[in-house]
Amino acid sequence: MKINNPLGTYKKRKKVYSDLLNKQAGKINKLSNIRLIIALVGIGNIIYLYVIKGPSYSYYISLVYIGLFAYVVTIHNRLKHNNKYFQALHDINETGLHHINGKWKEFKDTGLEYLDDSHSFSSDLDVFGQGSLFQYINTTTSYMGRETLKRYLTEPCKKEEEIIKRQEAVDELSSQLSWRQRFMAEGLIIPDKSDNILNRKNPYFTPINIITLWDYQCMIALESWKKKSGKLIKTWLDTIGEFEALSSLSNLRYDNPDWTFPKITDKLYNIRARDMGHPLITENRVCNDLKIDGPTRALLITGSNMSGKSTYLRTAGINLVLAYAGGPVCAKEFHCNIFYIYTCMRVSDNLEKNISSFYAELLRIKEIVDESKRSKVFFLLDEIFKGTNSHDRHEGAKILIKRLLDNNAIGLISTHDLELGVLERESSGKVRNYHFKEYYKNREIHFDYKLNPGISTTRNAMYLIKMVGIND
């Protein structure tokens, strides 16, 4: 399915709802004045009739004015509800414009409470928190929707059939922009119950309740509903959550028509991507290919500081997260088998548990090795064993990579240790060397962030030290 110009569509829809809001405002103001007139005239007539004709006449005329007032209030509330509905749709399209224009980091819901350093990948791949994948794609409005989307992103689907079903649902929903926006608007609308004439805090509730026996009607209706449908409420709520999570992924599909749905393959060691980019880099995104196939099980990425090694690892990981969630990925083509994703990238010390950063890294790596013994693992290792001396770091990395390959795991390793390049020869091609490089122009350092075959041949640490003024 080809979707054209989401930016133009959002602009047009925003204008339509802006015009509707202006029209609604005029109608609401008129009805507010009518309400006031009815109230003042009604009070005046009731007092007049009470004095001239007696209480019986004033009682009956008061019922007429209360009924008329209630009718006008009902219409007024309906207009206010429509106004909130149009405002929600206006804001949804404005949010769509922000999403496309790269202002999504201003969105309030970051999923911060879902941050979990012990999770196998979510912390390292920026799934939650400020500037996260959750913040970028989330359009849910309910607790069930947020929890379902969180589950999609942290519990990758392990069944090809389920992933394909989600892809089909996401693809279909992505073409239903009006439906998705109306669905989201319903979730955003929170009625102002203080204005509802049937709210107990409303001063007009008591006389209306006496006349209509509203309390008893509600109790009878509630008991009837509980008998007929009460047992289905959890299923309904879960269904709403699923629709909201799928709608979030559909919105991602709609806003990025050049992205693709991944193909799930049955090849044991297979991840291939063409023009793969990081979905959260919405400006000046640089795309690269990825190929782990055939005899190749791991890519060893070298390169100077700031050249793009860690970003490349996260690019591969976060696109796999989207692939297993059933969503589109930021690539022209993407093929993968189903793996358990494990990362070791941002390991820090834990003062509460008296654990140093190096030991915390060892525990994390042990977790990855243990999992690779019983499951198909895709690993991302960034500058492993950096908390020890160069000799031990080099030897430890060789041992770890060999162990993971023996356990049939596949993945990416970034490192400054150029000596590890010998693994390509020693592993008979199971490890392949790639690198990022920098170039200098007008005495300034620049990066093209393009992946190149082979081991890195450049260094830039001393240049950066001089650049920041440490060694003038």
DSSP classification of residue 350: B
Higher per-residue confidence, 144 vs 2: 144
Check whether 391 has a pLDDT greater than 60: yes
For β-strands 410-414 and 377-382, DSSP reports them as: parallel
Predicted confidence at residue 255, as pLDDT, reads 96
H or E, element range at 336? strand 333-336
Lowest mean pLDDT among 78-87, 148-157, 396-405, 461-470: 461-470
Predicted confidence at residue 193, as pLDDT, reads 45
Check whether 194 has a pLDDT greater than 60: no
What residues does 452 pair with on adjacent strands? 435
DSSP classification of residue 262: P
pLDDT band at 357 (very low <50, low <70, confident <90, very high): confident
Question: Mean pLDDT across the stretch 262-280?
Answer: 93
Check whether 190 has a pLDDT greater than 80: no
Higher per-residue confidence, 47 vs 465: 47
Tokens 């791991």 belong to residue: 298
User: Which tokens sit at 322?
Assistant: 């989207």
Q: C-alpha angle 147/152/157, rounded to 5°?
A: 140
Percentage of the chain beyond pLDDT 70 is: 91
Question: Mean pLDDT across the stretch 132-157?
Answer: 96
Predicted confidence at residue 1, as pLDDT, reads 46
Higher per-residue confidence, 355 vs 354: 355
Q: Report d(CA 404, CA 340) in Å as an integer.
A: 13
pLDDT tens-digit series, residues 164-175: 999 999 999 999
User: Which tokens sit at 240?
Assistant: 């709403």
Tokens 């440490």 belong to residue: 470
* 382 three-class SS: strand
Check whether 231 has a pLDDT greater than 90: no
The mean of the pLDDT values for the chain is 87
Check whether 249 has a pLDDT greater than 90: yes
Question: Mean pLDDT across the stretch 259-264?
Answer: 96
pLDDT tens-digit series, residues 19-78: 998 888 888 788 888 888 888 887 887 787 777 777 777 777 777 777 787 888 888 778
User: Which tokens sit at 145?
Assistant: 């929707």
Lowest mean pLDDT among 76-85, 182-191, 194-203: 194-203
Amino acid at position 123, single letter: S
Closest by alpha carbon to 372, among 115, 153, 120, 159? 120
What residues does 350 pair with on adjacent strands? 355
pLDDT band at 470 (very low <50, low <70, confident <90, very high): low
pLDDT tens-digit series, residues 400-427: 999 999 999 999 999 988 889 999 999 9
pLDDT band at 316 (very low <50, low <70, confident <90, very high): very high
